[in-house]
Structures are given as structure tokens and as C-alpha cells.
Amino acid sequence: MLNKKHIKSFQKILPDGFVLSEPGDCWAYGYDNSKMHVMPECVLFAESKEQIKNILTYCYNNDIPITTRGRGTGNTGGSVPIENSIVLSLEKMNKIIKIDTENRLAVVQPGVINKVLQDALERENFFWGPDPSSQEYSTVGGNIANNSAGPRAVKYGTPRDNILGLEFVSGTGETHKTGVKTSKGVVGLDLTRLFVGSEGILGVLTEATLKILPLNNTVKTFELTFSSLKSASDMIISLMSQPITPYKLEFIDEQSVGLINSIKKNHYEKNTKAAILLEIDADKDYINAQSNKLYEIMKQKKHIKIQIAENKSEVEELWKARKSLSPALRALGGYKINEDIAVPISNLTVLLESLNEISQKHEIRIVNFGHAGNGNIHVNLLFNTDEEKNSENAKKCLEEIFDLVLTLEGTISGEHGIGIIKKKFLEKEIKKSTLKLMSEIKKQFDPKKILNPNKSI
Ligand SMILES: Cc1cc2nc3c(=O)[nH]c(=O)nc-3n(C[C@H](O)[C@H](O)[C@H](O)COP(=O)(O)OP(=O)(O)OC[C@H]3O[C@@H](n4cnc5c(N)ncnc54)[C@H](O)[C@@H]3O)c2cc1C
């Protein structure tokens, strides 16, 4: 239990209303999309770098564990406080400090919502690459901490590929500045990219300098259907082996096809066993030439149908079907385990066929869809009861899936991170001596282990 003296000290550091200590006020800051919930000892809000520095210095001097929170949309318990932790919410630190199109950069505070930034950039005909599906709610700080990205990562990458520098406060209360404001730079160790994806265990991000890009003004969207899983994954491989990089390349398996058809009658033909959504972006003067080239490549591969969306409403209609999948899963079973594994795309066929075998063996319904261009598939295990979800059979099934992914040279998390939920599987992917090296690095940033304790590594 946090001593009342500490709460009083935080009230001295922060303005009125920036410290919550009543359980009713703190409750909403104790969960994320993993559905885990732990009541925070208290919740602090900060709106300046100075306040964050003062909070962390106090926590360091008094051995108080602290969990940083963006908007709590994470899937792995990353912002859920554990071990009598307090929560530091950055939702008030939400300013876009600068958009500098000449130098192709934007400087932002960590609590700015991804979509708010994208809208501001769009007004200047620019964008920031990372587009997680949660972009209406999640913060740039959370995106950076989890290295989160969405469909267009196949062409424009993740936060790690779209960041120039950052400022953060470490677990000792010291402030640090990393990276550059130029598109090239090679001085010192690359702490910027070490921080990206570190899930709040190395410091509290207080400012980020992001690499931004000019928007292409036209997109063209294709929907392709297939009578077998193999023809779909063969198509993905051939699309990734040619020079026009897709803007988005999404895969939908047979179960997902059935789900979409149950919502939108006859969206797919009866014999459809898999589908792909492909989008390209280009300047309007080039888009037709590019889509014609792609169409010629697609035609040569086995498929049932290639449909091209010609206008904005047709494009929206195609994406509506893909976006309906996550909510539709709930209709199949109230309980799910949602994994986000990734494999090299040349191993997609084996992965998807083996997932079907694992599903039959364990008699667990598994629905697969996701960002095929990155080999990043959302593997959804569906259950009717909480008991089934927590059964030995479900655990064995999950272990088998992770073992399969690692045999195929993949990773157990393409985008959601480790947090609390996946920690027990970490040693499957990273060997002990390497994990030890990572812990030694963490110690340099956070010697008293007060930052997001027991998460990630
Ligand atoms: C409907 C839905 C769709 C989603 N779609 C995607 C998707 O397409 N792609 C994807 O990758 N993820 C997706 N996610 C997961 C989630 O949205 C992302 O992980 C997101 O980046 C989290 O942002 P947040 O602001 O909610 O951070 P939080 O969940 O609050 O925190 C996430 C982690 O970041 C740390 N953190 C937050 N801010 C800071 C900071 N300033 N300094 C240091 N550490 C910090 C936290 O401690 C925690 O470990 C989705 C989630 C939902 C609910």
C-alpha cells in the first residue's frame, strides 16, 4: 500500500487534479485490451517533461514502481500496473509540437493520438507510416513503445523505421536525448531504435521526432479469391517478389471467408477457400500503369476472381468486409486467444496448412487473417467457455503453434509485444544468455527496476 506521505509529495510535484488516489477514480487506469485488471495504488498525470523528471526522480529515491500508460489499448498487459505500482498517464501530454515538411519530420508529445497526428499531417499532404487499427484511440508514445503498426507496414514499415530521435527520462530520473533531426546520422550507439519496442521498461518517452513522408494521392484496391489456401499463399509470394511494393496486402482464410459471408451475404463465391486484399498507392499519373502491371502478374497465377475497386465507395466496401472480422469473431465463441505471430512469407503456406492440422488435432476452432505482406498473421483460437480457454488442451495447442512458428524461422509476436501475457513464452524465442544481456542493458536505464517491473524481458 502506498504511503499517504508519497501521495502528498506527488500532489506537491503536480498541479491540482493531477493525482488520483480514490479507488473509484483509479479503476479505469488498471486495465488494457488484454482484459487483465490490477487496481493502481494511485494515478498521476503529467503535462511537461519537467513533471515527468520530478515524478521519476521521486520514484527512484523512494523505490516506487511505476507503469507508464498511453491509452491502454495494448493487448498484452503492458500498461496494467503490477506489484503495488502507480500509473503515470500521458493522455494530457498530447501536443503536436512541429510539422516540418521541408525536413520531412514531425515533433510530438507522446500522448498525441495517432489519428490526430495523421489528420494534421494529411492537411499538409504528408503522413506518418505506422497505422495500427487502433489509431483512433492509441497514442504515438504507445505505438513507439510497442513498435505498433498496421496494414501499410508492408510498404512503409513500423515505428522503428519511421523515427529520427526521441527524448526520455530513465529510471533514475535523468533526461536523455537520442537520434538526429536529419535523414542521416551515425554518432553514438542507436539508442533510439533500442527504445522503440521496449514496452516502457527503459524510460518514459517525453518527446519524439518522427520521419514523415509525402502522401501519394491515389490508391487502387484489388480483391482476389482462391479455391485453395496454397494458391492464395503462392499469389502472396509472387506479389512480394515483383518490384511494385503493395501499400497493403491482407490475407483472409476459409473460416474468415465464412464469417464475412455470414455478415454480408454472398460477398465471396461458394467455393472460396481464401482471399487477399491488395492495395497500391502512387501518384495519379502512374497508378494505372502500376495496376495494369500487377494485374498481368496476378492473371498468371491460379485464382477464382480478381475484382478491382474503381472508386472510393467500392474501396471502402472491400475494407469494410476485412474490418468486420475482429468484431464478428465474437459471434463464434465468447472467449478467444488472439496471437499475432509472423513468419517469413515463403513459409506462409506451411504455416497456414499446419495451423489447420493443429486446429483439427486439438478440436479448437482457429481463424486466421492478417498482414500477409509482413507474414504477420492474427491466429485466433476460439472457445465457448472460459474453462475451455484455460484448459490444458488450449495451452498445449498454443505451445504447438509457437513451436511451429519458431521452426519456420518466425517470431511469436509481430506487433503486440510481450507485456505480461507472453512473458512465459519468451525463452522459446530468445536464448537465456541473450536475455541476460538484455537484462544487463535494462539495468543501465533502470538500476532499481522501477519501470514497468516484470514486463517484457
Ligand atoms: C481494436 C484494437 C486494434 C489494434 N490494432 C493494432 C494493430 O493493428 N497493430 C498493432 O501493432 N497493435 C494494435 N493494437 C494494440 C495497441 O493498440 C497498440 O499496442 C498501441 O500502440 C498501444 O497504444 P496505447 O497508447 O494504447 O498504449 P498502452 O496500451 O497504454 O501502452 C502500451 C505499452 O507502451 C508503454 N508506453 C505507453 N506510453 C509510453 C511512453 N510515453 N513512454 C514509455 N512507454 C510507454 C506502456 O507502458 C505499455 O507497455 C490494437 C488494439 C486494439 C484494442
Q: What CATH code is carried by the domain that includes residue 283?
A: 3.30.70.2190
pTM for the model: 0.96
Give the mean pLDDT of 110-119: 98
Rounded Cα gap, residues 154 and 250, in angstroms: 10
Same domain? For 144 and 79 the reply is: no
451 domain residue, yes or no:
no
The DSSP letter of residue 215 is: P
In this model, does residue 333 exceed pLDDT 70? no
H/E segment holding residue 69: strand 66-69
Same domain? For 349 and 419 the reply is: yes
448 domain residue, yes or no:
no
Say what percent of the chain tops pLDDT 90: 89
Which numbered atom of ligand 1 lies nearest the CA of 131? 8
Here the cell at position 367 is 481463424
In this model, does residue 325 exceed pLDDT 90? no
pLDDT of residue 380: 94
Give the mean pLDDT of 275-301: 95
H/E segment holding residue 177: strand 175-179
Give the mean pLDDT of 313-333: 81
Same domain? For 393 and 411 the reply is: yes
pLDDT of residue 326: 77
Give the mean pLDDT of 378-398: 95
pLDDT of residue 262: 86
439 domain residue, yes or no:
no
Contact assessment for residue 239 and residue 209, using Cβ atoms and an 8 Å cutoff:
no
Same domain? For 382 and 412 the reply is: yes
Same domain? For 11 and 78 the reply is: yes
In this model, does residue 98 exceed pLDDT 90? yes
Give the mean pLDDT of 4-10: 95
Which numbered atom of ligand 1 lies nearest the CA of 32? 29
CA–centroid distance, residue 32 to ligand 1 (Å): 9
Give me the CATH number covering residue 395: 3.30.70.2740
Here the cell at position 428 is 522459446
Counting ligand 1 atoms within 8 A of each CB, the residue from 68, 341, 377, 455 with the most, and so the one to mutate, is 68
Same domain? For 139 and 203 the reply is: yes
375 domain residue, yes or no:
yes
Give the mean pLDDT of 281-285: 93
The domain of 56 spans 4-89
Count of C-beta atoms within a 10 Å radius of residue 267: 19
In this model, does residue 334 exceed pLDDT 90? no
Same domain? For 35 and 53 the reply is: yes
Domain boundary residue, one of 277, 308, 326: 326
Give the mean pLDDT of 102-110: 98
In this model, does residue 310 exceed pLDDT 80? no
CA–centroid distance, residue 278 to ligand 1 (Å): 26
Same domain? For 51 and 117 the reply is: no
104 domain residue, yes or no:
yes
Counting ligand 1 atoms within 8 A of each CB, the residue from 37, 137, 146 with the most, and so the one to mutate, is 146
Same domain? For 81 and 119 the reply is: no
168-194 pLDDT, tens per residue? 999 999 999 999 999 999 999 999 999
Same domain? For 321 and 360 the reply is: no
CA–centroid distance, residue 148 to ligand 1 (Å): 7
In the chain, the number of structural domains is: 4
Which numbered atom of ligand 1 lies nearest the CA of 158? 11
pLDDT of residue 24: 95
Residues with CB under 6 A from ligand 1: 32-33, 67-75, 78-79, 90, 110, 132-134, 138-139, 141-143, 145-146, 148-150, 199-200, 204-205, 415-416, 452
| pLDDT band for position 322 (cuts 50, 70, 90) | confident
| pLDDT band for position 433 (cuts 50, 70, 90) | very high
Give me the CATH number covering residue 17: 3.30.43.10
453 domain residue, yes or no:
no
Counting ligand 1 atoms within 8 A of each CB, the residue from 73, 87, 135, 323 with the most, and so the one to mutate, is 73
Same domain? For 250 and 159 the reply is: no
59 domain residue, yes or no:
yes
In this model, does residue 151 exceed pLDDT 90? yes
320 domain residue, yes or no:
yes
Who wins on pLDDT, 225 or 454?
225
CA–centroid distance, residue 294 to ligand 1 (Å): 34
Give me the CATH number covering residue 125: 3.30.465.10
Residues 6 or more apart whose CB falls under 8 angstroms from that of 270 comprise none
Domain boundary residue, one of 214, 241, 256: 214
Coil, strand or helix at 444: helix
CA–centroid distance, residue 266 to ligand 1 (Å): 35
- Helical axes 325-332 vs 254-263, angle rounded to 10°: 90
- Mean pLDDT (the chain) is 95
